[in-house]
Copies of this chain bind each other. A is one copy, B any other.
Amino acid sequence: MRELRLQRRRLHPSPRPSPEESAIPGSPASAVTWSLGELAVRFGCDLRGDPQTRVDSVAMLSGGPSSVGFVANPAYREALQATTLGAVVVAPSLADACPTAALVHRNPHATFARIAALLHPASALTAGIDPRALVDPAAKVDPTAQVGPFAIIGAGAVIGARSLVGPHCIVGEGVLVGADTRLLAKVTLCSGTRIGARCILHPGAVVGSDGFGNARDGEAWVKIPQVGGVLVGDDVEIGANTTVDRGALGDTVIEEGVRLDNQIQVAHNVSIGAHTAIAACTGIAGSTRIGRRCMIGGGTGIGGQLVLGDDIIITGFGMVTKSIDKPGFYSSVIPVEEARLWRRIVGRIKRLDLWAARIRKLETAAGIGVAGQDNDD
């Protein structure tokens, strides 16, 4: 029952796979090892150390001799010097500080990620449809795809090659799922959703739910039918319990390479540019357009109808209420303070208007003229 393996990675070091599991052909279990020489060639590293040394996993700097770690930040030079690992991926400037084999690369973080993916591969799929799944005869499921137990696939849906529709997933009518995409478990794709190739959707994600469209009539609300869809590009990752609403008219769009963490809310007709990464608990209101390569910190709120350009970085807990076009860092976080002091400060903030008047009065008394933009009253 390999289709239930929600780990999707060979974990290290626990729990141990059962013997039966290890016996399954293609199961990585403890069999995957690579020599440092192979890794260096495959990922373009400069290797300092024995190319015959074999490794089977990634680990922290305190890991063992069969594991590979990484250090990108020079601040960890000292920790690097104490590592017990078999090999470490490092930037050239840190190579001489590495007491064990060094895989030297100018981008150690990305290189480590690729080595980790090689050593801890996602579970291999078992092609076919679980007998407990419910697949409409008018759906097209590629014969190399896997459909898990209690999954539901509606009429007209298309599931691409080598894709996974995990247990308890629902794929609505006419939904398109590209090749090599994994709906891990309990993912809901409502009708009108199209997902690209090589995407990963985590448990509890909902894509294509109705946007929040209501028109007031007297004191009551009239629901505005949401008739748009959701378009998700290739190589997108959508986190656990994240929600992406369908468009009201036209589509909600998530371009290729976007990364959405857990519990994010993307409202109707939002568009998110390629390779933008958004951390958990962020909410984006309707019709806002976010550019390419943006990085949005966790817990951020972004208002509706805004336009954020490319390469905008919002630090965590930011509140965006106006459009931004200039690339750079933006913030509005106010860090916690000891509560008694904070209450006094809030009192001051609420009376800033009065303080401003007092300063103006002082200036008048002192005969200090105020001109230009200073004069803000």
Contact = CB atoms under 8 A, between A and B. Distances in A.
A354 B335 contact: no
Size category, A interface: 35 or more
A366 to B, nearest CB: 5
Interface in A105-156: 107, 109-110, 112-114, 116-117, 120, 122, 132, 134, 136, 138, 149-150, 152-156
Interface stretch (A30-38, A96-104, A237-245): A237-245
Contacts of A279: 212, 285
Contacts of A359: 355, 358-359, 362
A280 B292 contact: no
Contact of A348 (B12, B117, B356): B356
Given A243-B240, A359-B359, A366-B365, A6 B339 contact: no
Interface in A186-207: 186, 188-192, 194, 200, 202-204, 206
Contacts of A92: none
Contacts of A64: none
A94 interface: no
A174 interface: yes
A187 to B, nearest CB: 10
Contacts of A112: 215, 224
Given A112-B215, A155-B20, A337 B321 contact: no
Contact of A18 (B110, B155, B240): B155
A125 to B, nearest CB: 15
A298 B285 contact: yes
Contact of A334 (B136, B176, B299, B332): B332
Give the most central of A60, A190, A343, A348: most B CB within 10 Å. A190
A200 to B, nearest CB: 8
B1 A223 contact: no
Copies of this chain in its oligomeric complex: 3
A303 interface: yes
A133 to B, nearest CB: 10
Contacts of A325: none
Contact of A14 (B57, B229, B333): B229
A314 B373 CA distance: 31
Given A6-B191, A366-B362, A174 B346 contact: no
Contacts of A58: 225, 227, 249
A192 B58 CA distance: 16
A155 B123 CA distance: 14
16 contacts: A4-B173, A14-B192, A15-B174, A59-B249, A110-B217, A113-B225, A134-B150, A168-B186, A202-B210, A204-B241, A319-B334, A331-B336, A331-B337, A345-B350, A354-B373, A365-B368
